[in-house]
């Protein structure tokens, strides 16, 4: 559509340039954007890479810590990978989404062509991409600490994927129901609690209660996968139940503003 213009001036063309990109392309762009923002954020890098790396070195070298039965470097790496998933999918995601919600970013994006489903899918994919980076970095650090990669390590993939889904849903549930400042405090406090006694890095003294928590299930599943090359079916079922429950809770109570 063109509008009339003064003599000698070009007509103003108001015809739309084209339709929105396909849904999948929009989701991938949003995921890439969120991943880049996280990697450029110093606080996020401290939480997602620096602290897990320090924990990995510490638990591998301190022989007095009981990691369970099996190869110590493999057990240490498995536990720290579980911690890394929680750091990114729960703590980092909850804090980032909470402040986006407070600042009105979520409301604006929800009304864009991306839509609510696209925004949430982009966040999950961004978490997955960040976890891949964490796995590569932490595995590289574990090599000089004595860890030997084996084909059995691939059995940790289902646990990591379910862990990403469960803890992303938990993080979004927290961010969508609590004020940003409260989300910041709760997310960091829960991270410390899960590290200390949630069964992530070390077998929890509170088992079997901790085995029913997503943290205990994730830690057990990843440690067993890396140490023995086996799939821990019970913990995977626990993670699946938490994923479904938190996903339904998000659909019911998540507030966009």
- Per residue in 196-240, pLDDT (tens digit) is 888 899 888 777 888 899 999 999 999 999 999 999 999 999 999
Model pLDDT for residues 136-145, shown as the tens digit of each residue: 999 999 999 9
104: tokens are: 């009105």
233-256: average pLDDT: 93
Q: Is the separation of the CB atoms in 204 and 56 below 8 Å?
A: no
Beta strands in the chain (DSSP E): 2-3, 12-13
Name the residue among 199, 194, 243 with its Cα closest to residue 218.
199
Round to whole Å and give the CA distance between 248 and 114: 21
55: tokens are: 């924990």
Model pLDDT for residues 25-61, shown as the tens digit of each residue: 888 998 999 899 888 888 888 989 999 999 999 999 9
Model pLDDT for residues 72-105, shown as the tens digit of each residue: 999 999 999 999 999 999 999 999 999 989 988 8
51: tokens are: 């602290």
The vertex-57 CA angle with 54 and 58, nearest 5°, equals: 85
From first CA to last CA, the distance across the chain in angstroms is 36
Round to whole Å and give the CA distance between 142 and 174: 33
């Amino acid at each position: 559509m063109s509008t009339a213009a003064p003599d000698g001036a070009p007509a103003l063309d108001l015809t739309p340039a084209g339709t929105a990109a396909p849904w999948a392309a929009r989701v991938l762009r949003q995921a890439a954007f969120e991943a880049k923002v996280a990697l450029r954020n110093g606080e996020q890098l401290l939480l997602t890479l620096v602290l897990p790396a320090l924990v990995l070195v510490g638990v591998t070298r301190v022989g007095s810590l009981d990691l369970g039965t099996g190869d110590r470097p493999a057990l240490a790496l498995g536990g720290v990978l579980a911690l890394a998933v929680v750091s990114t999918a729960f703590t980092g995601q909850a804090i980032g989404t909470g402040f986006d919600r407070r600042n009105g970013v979520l409301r604006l994006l929800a009304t864009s062509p991306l839509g609510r489903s696209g925004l949430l899918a982009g966040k999950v994919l961004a978490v997955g991409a960040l976890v891949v980076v964490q796995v590569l970095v932490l595995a590289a650090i574990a090599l000089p600490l004595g860890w030997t990669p084996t084909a059995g390590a691939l059995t940790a993939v289902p646990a990591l994927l379910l862990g990403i889904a469960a803890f992303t849903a938990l993080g979004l549930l927290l961010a969508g129901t609590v004020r940003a400042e409260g989300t910041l405090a709760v997310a960091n406090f829960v991270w410390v609690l899960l590290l200390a006694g949630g069964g992530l890095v070390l077998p929890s003294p509170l088992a079997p209660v901790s085995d029913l928590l997503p943290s205990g299930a994730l830690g057990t599943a990843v440690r067993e996968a890396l140490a023995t090359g086996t799939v821990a079916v019970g913990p995977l079922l626990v993670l699946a139940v938490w994923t479904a429950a938190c996903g339904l809770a998000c659909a019911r109570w998540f507030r966009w503003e």
